[in-house]
Structure 1
């Protein structure tokens, strides 16, 4: 980071990164534990409730393509401030008792988080180019930690009132305000500085002086567009399938457990344990992935997907052993997610190509993931139970394992 780059010290920059990360999951994962309350209060079907998770995911896919253009036009700080503002407005709108506000707020929330998903890695690469791995691990752990908190406190915050879920939803505007409090001064200060940084572009987006990909001062390098390569689609497939499984679990696992006899409060606490397990699993997965660079990540991808598949089988056969299944589910989904993100860099030759693969994979992956909660919710409505949805969830693991095995092979797009 250039001295005085944004008029603040490196410590405050780190605070900004972590403050943004705190907003990336909590407002979404809070839906699962109080989904039944939302449905009862607003007379929604299971399919409609699942849209509360699916709409943000659709935004993730759409804005994975749009956000890089916003970053190039406005800069990282301005884009982050705009995205945080949209997120905050969305959280408030989703929580007020006005017609249509639930859906408008959900779309705004999804657009804000989607843009931050793209902006945060660019911010880390620009300001901490020598510590990308450690900072990525830190912000991944932070978003998982706040996701865990949101699931644990959702039911207590909602209380016993029919509209109590609005409090559980709305309280997360607080973390958005904290992040804005850090990023707005950075945005104001950054406007006075020319932006030339280690990430490569006028705003840290990996563009060389001639406008093409590469490091500053280095010859620009071209490569095939990832969407034109089989390897690119394998990576995107793995990203999409593991995301589909994860968001289906986040949305419906509490309801699966209440159907098995657990109280809503207990099911919400179990989701918190899932998220906490994910924090530890993410850190471990990162180390294992680094050690596997010489041989590829196929074995790890298959193993991580298999761990969460065992959890689904366990829930079907022995739901009373819930601590085992929650730990396996949390570990498997978190490790698979870290693997998918790592493949963007491991399967490409240079930064610009990695960014292109990331945008493609997130656009396709989150678009696919948006269908998962809808399918599971529709199957529950149709069968009035959770056995068929869980079997379908388990069947989703087969293509995920195949995509992971193919995408994990030691090669690059060329």
Structure 2
């Protein structure tokens, strides 16, 4: 289904924004050897380059709805791309502090955009939620796969060095700024009273069972994803696979994940059908992890394909639940903030916990069984999140006549009470 002309440019903008939410983080991993050799970074400090952004995703997520209400969602998203561009530029500078500071800027921009983009899909593509969620999530897999696969070849082919190659991925943010800039005109100027009223968040979600189901599914799928992504190459290398091939296997899972990310929200429809996709994705995940236990080398291509499909379906459904379970964009932003704050803090702790278990046991059987165990509550929360209905929340103060209850898009959006 082709979007009408009025939504075509916003659709391209959303896809371009999504294309910037992973590459500048993922591109660090394949270049980490060159970075350490050039700067003398210790292993722990080098780990900060990949851990800091994920921590930013969780810690800064609660700020996103407030910024969106005060500045307007379009302008805030534009500023996230400016932050990402600035972070890419700062990492060009020589001091080690600049490398870490640029990484934090990138993580901050991504954290805010992560939270706000599901609300844009909710508002602008209500009749095409499945399609746009699929395209958006597909981009979340495709762009980092490109960054992981092309960063080292680009460095070797061009001789630019790791700093300039990392900065090249910032060009995507510049392109997003150019395409998204016209969208900032959609928000008209509002009065100071309306701005103050809009700053009051939707409360009550932390006591809502459906909101917690969405939050737990988001958090647990992020945790399992980062646990596997962080240690999969090491697991395969320990089984006898070359380091280069192990990296290719990780990229393969990401490439196949594109299909899972696109198909899951397109196939979802109704509580039972969506719950079945949640379960199917987890089953694929378990088969892949079980295969890695018994035949990590012989069946690697099959296990990576199944793993990618399961991971892609999970993240896509997690984002779809945020959009579907929110009655309006204001609730979508708050639910997105709640679930991603919880989710990415868990995601940052997951790889550390798996590493500790691996070190304590000296093998990969117990760590993989641990991931499979986490998939049980992940599946249960996903089935609960698939139930039809909306989360309920209310402003923390009684609304007044003319109060702005949602992000404005074209003109003032007024309301007389909390969305139900």
Shorter-chain-normalised TM-score: which range? 0.7 to 0.9
Matched-pair contact (CA < 8 Å) for 2:116–2:333: no
Corresponding residue number in structure 1 for 2:207: 228
Q: Give the superposition deviation at 1:242.
A: 0.5
- What CA distance in whole angstroms lies between the structure 1 residues aligned with 2:302 and 2:149? 18
Q: Is 1:99 the equivalent of 2:77?
A: no
Q: Give the superposition deviation at 1:407.
A: 3.4
Corresponding residue number in structure 1 for 2:293: 316
- What CA distance in whole angstroms lies between the structure 1 residues aligned with 2:252 and 2:178? 30
Matched-pair contact (CA < 8 Å) for 2:213–2:385: yes
Q: Give the superposition deviation at 1:347.
A: 4.1
Change (3 A) 1:357 1:125: closer
What SS does structure 1 have at the residue aligned with 2:60?
Answer: helix
Q: Is 1:299 the equivalent of 2:296?
A: no
- What CA distance in whole angstroms lies between the structure 2 residues aligned with 1:94 and 1:378? 31
CA distances 1:298-336 after superposition (whole Å, capped 9, x unpaired) = 333233123122222222321212111111111101101
Matched-pair contact (CA < 8 Å) for 2:211–2:391: yes
What SS does structure 2 have at the residue aligned with 1:19?
Answer: helix
1:161-310 alignment, distance < 5 Å? 164-187=161-184, 189-190=185-186, 193=188, 225-290=204-269, 293-295=270-272, 297-310=274-287
Corresponding residue number in structure 2 for 1:407: 385
Corresponding residue number in structure 1 for 2:16: 19
Change (3 A) 1:382 1:212: closer
Change (3 A) 1:32 1:223: closer
- What CA distance in whole angstroms lies between the structure 1 residues aligned with 2:380 and 2:330? 27
CA distances 1:229-263 after superposition (whole Å, capped 9, x unpaired) = 33322321111010011122333323333343444
CA distances 1:92-132 after superposition (whole Å, capped 9, x unpaired) = 33454412233222211111011112232333444444434
Change (3 A) 1:46 1:233: farther
Among 315, 332, 337, the alignment partner of 1:359 is 337
The root-mean-square deviation of aligned C-alpha atoms, in Å, is 3.5
Corresponding residue number in structure 2 for 1:65: 62
Change (3 A) 1:294 1:256: closer
Q: Is 1:79 the equivalent of 2:76?
A: yes
What SS does structure 1 have at the residue aligned with 2:292?
Answer: helix
Change (3 A) 1:409 1:211: same
Change (3 A) 1:373 1:89: farther
CA distances 1:50-97 after superposition (whole Å, capped 9, x unpaired) = 433332222222332111111111122321221111112222334544
State the TM-score, normalized to the length of structure 1: 0.79
Matched-pair contact (CA < 8 Å) for 1:19–1:178: yes
1:313-392 alignment, distance < 5 Å? 313-320=290-297, 321-348=299-326, 351-379=329-357, 386=364, 388-392=366-370
Q: Give the superposition deviation at 1:47.
A: 5.1
Corresponding residue number in structure 2 for 1:198: none
CA distances 1:120-158 after superposition (whole Å, capped 9, x unpaired) = 233344444443432232222223221221121133234
Give aligned pairs, total. 384
Unaligned runs of 5+ in 1: 1-7, 196-201, 214-221
Matched-pair contact (CA < 8 Å) for 2:119–2:330: no
Unaligned runs of 5+ in 2: 393-420
